Amino acid sequence: MKHKSKLLMIPLCLSLCIGCTTPNKPTNNKVYIEETMHTSLPDSLNAFSISSFSRLWQQDQNLLYSPYSAYLALALCSNDAIDETQQQLLHALCYKGDIQDLNQQLVKELNTLSQQNVQSNTSIWNDQNVTLSQKLKDASSLYQSDIFTRDFKKSSLTSEINRWIQSNTNKKLTFQQPVSKNTAIIYFNTLYLQDRWDTPFDKKNTKTDTFTTSNQKQIQTSFMHTSRSGYYMDKENYEAINLPLEKGGQMLLFLPKEHQNPLDILKDPAWISQFYETNDTKMLNISLPSFTLKQDYSLTNMLSSMGVNRALSKTDAQFLSKNDHEPLYLDDMHQGTYLAVNEEGIEAAAYSEIEMKTGSAFMESVDIQFNRPFLYTIVSAQGTPLFIGYIENPTA
């Protein structure tokens, strides 16, 4: 049995069964985890993952979100910002320090992930009339980002961007949004991961069974079954286990107990990282639905709720790059995600887009059946959260 990483977890992907809208204010079914500031990248990424995910989650809907991809796109964009605009962006990223220090830590992290077959790519697309700042050029070189200078008025631009997205996500995601005439710069990050379970599920054991949603709707779907030793955490409101992957990452699964609300898990800012504090191992009899999710949604409201105000202002944004000497502002942030979970393993992809416009031993046996809504994360060998999610309906 592979030992879990003791490093703070930075989700490459957070997935909850949640929808693609982001309300501006908390409701009785929402909880916002406030940003906490850190100087180390692992702590910063983990805090950003939890805080941003808490703003996206909605009960009764699936959600697949990549905080890691969003973080990288925002970090690259932050290199072009100055003064309060940059300070607000770094605060949203939960990073307390200089942007150059953050860049250096991110480059090391990217090199480590690439050795684990986690593919991350960034690019900057700018209109031919835009003058990119030297700071942004230097950062793009550090991140090994592609820079594409194009005529944004040409209708072929969306098709070219789509080809870049598809080539970096194994054709799992597409980009079909038309580029508006006053768009000046578009930042992209893509993330792709394909890995096998260290012990695959036997397809012969896959059977149809009942999954009960939070509104008590019963759905017939395929459940994978296996028995294996693994880490097991038993909390007051939920249970949690891990499923190791061949290349060192793992999927963590969080199952609210009967009649418990997933919101009770999200209220704890350490709901992911505290899993690494357990050394309790059990023989796990696991029943897990296979599922595929593909989503597309805006992250702009999420940014606003995290205090990013200057960057989003047409009149007050402070960015160095100019479009024919006119200032730029952050108009929209968007993300597309994909995840397939089956007997062999997982395949996950994400892209994040930022659009800039001109303004003006003996083990006790435990049965754990994921036959009701549950949370999960996919993390690297270092504990970096690549994806986070929630399954409300595995057939949706």
How far is the C-alpha of 313 from the C-alpha of 201, rounded, in Å? 50
329-348: pLDDT as tens digits: 999 999 999 999 999 999 99
Q: Output phi, psi for 207, to 5 deg.
A: -140, 155
Nearest to 241 by CA among 375, 107, 42, 139: 375
For residue 6, pLDDT beyond 50: no
For residue 282, pLDDT beyond 90: yes
In this prediction the pTM is 0.89
Residue 192 has what pLDDT?
Answer: 97
Residue 364 has what pLDDT?
Answer: 67
For residue 374, pLDDT beyond 60: yes
- Which segment of 26-35, 63-72, 148-157, 355-364 scores lowest on mean pLDDT? 26-35
Q: Output phi, psi for 253, to 5 deg.
A: -125, 130
Residue 369 has what pLDDT?
Answer: 93
For residue 321, pLDDT beyond 60: yes
How far is the C-alpha of 370 from the C-alpha of 251, rounded, in Å? 14
How far is the C-alpha of 189 from the C-alpha of 69, rounded, in Å? 6
How far is the C-alpha of 291 from the C-alpha of 66, rounded, in Å? 17
Which CATH superfamily includes the segment(s) 14-391? Antithrombin, subunit I, domain 2 (3.30.497.10)
57-95: pLDDT as tens digits: 988 899 999 999 999 999 999 999 999 999 999 999 999
**pLDDT grade for 325, boundaries at 50, 70 and 90:** confident
Residue 2 has what pLDDT?
Answer: 46
Residue 67 has what pLDDT?
Answer: 97
Section 197-213 average pLDDT? 97
Residue 234 has what pLDDT?
Answer: 95
Nearest to 63 by CA among 386, 347, 376, 379: 376
**pLDDT grade for 4, boundaries at 50, 70 and 90:** very low
In angstroms, the Cα distances linking 76 to 81, 188, 228, 390 are 10, 9, 42, 28
How far is the C-alpha of 25 from the C-alpha of 229, rounded, in Å? 42
Contact 245, 4 (CB under 8 A): no
Section 166-181 average pLDDT? 94
Residue 29 has what pLDDT?
Answer: 66
9-26: pLDDT as tens digits: 446 666 654 223 333 333
210-266: pLDDT as tens digits: 999 989 999 999 999 999 999 999 999 999 999 999 999 999 999 999 988 888 888
Residue 381 has what pLDDT?
Answer: 87
Q: Output phi, psi for 314, to 5 deg.
A: -65, -25
Residue 299 has what pLDDT?
Answer: 98
